Amino acid sequence: MASLMVIRKRIASVKSTQQITKAMKMVAAAKLRRAQEAAQSARPYAEKLAELLRNVAARAADVPHPLLATRDVEQTIDLIAITSDRGLCGGYNANLIRAAGNFLAAHQSAHVRVTAIGNKGLGHFRKTGADIIEEHTHLPVGPTHALALELAARVARDFADGTTDRVYLLYSQFRSAISQVPTVEQVLPVERPPQQDGPLADYIYEPDAATLLDRLLRQYITTVIDRAFLESIASELAARMTAMENATTNASEMINRLTLDMNRARQAAITTELMEIVSGAEALKG
């Protein structure tokens, strides 16, 4: 059994760690509510924009657009992978990295170019030798709308000029505080809706169908990336809150076990001292 001094030092160390994990849990919980509201409020807008884009694309089926073009041979694929800059969030990054590995394994025949957002994903892709064409790390408040605009413009340009044949997003979809699902979503090409039976009611376009379709497509790409950012931020905070809560609980259990060991060690030491005193007294009598 360890000495009393060693056990006391371990208890003090665990208590100090518990204070840190408890504080991190409270910070993550305070930020999670705002992040959750932002992610959930972005969903109706994204869904309505997608519906509007489908309607316009269906009625303007004869209008060609490079962002709607499908290619039979996919030689180059872009993957925008969103992870966190920091750890201490349970299996959040590990699940995303595993999903990235599955994606790369499924597309071995193509050249996959990676845009790494977050230090954890960047470190993994560097170790595996992936082709990293762009990286964004150490973001103070996470990926922002400005970054979404920048990425949307770049992937649209690369797809239109044939630099890449398909673009995917890898992010963690927020479902609840204890459930975050790694998700791979296709960004480009934007899929045209299937042809519907019967006549379609047409729109009055201003300025014209081609210009409106182009603006909607670019806005749609930005919205998809921006929504993935918001989902990722909420998922990371939820995962960190849960992980720190579990760590705080484990620290309490460890403190209880160490306290029990300390009491046993102290009792054993007292018993030993009493036996020595009694033995000494008996020796003096003899």
Active site residue ranges: 89
User: Tokens representing 118?
Assistant: 């977050």
Cα–Cα dist 156/223, whole Å: 13
What is the Cα 92 distance to its own chain's centre? 6
CA atoms within 13 A on the CB side of 125: 28
What is the DSSP code (8-state) at residue 36? Answer: H
**115 and 135 in contact (C-beta within 8 Å)?**
yes
- Please provide the distance, in angstroms rounded to a whole number, between the alpha carbons at the two ends of the chain: 34
What is the Cα 59 distance to its own chain's centre? 37
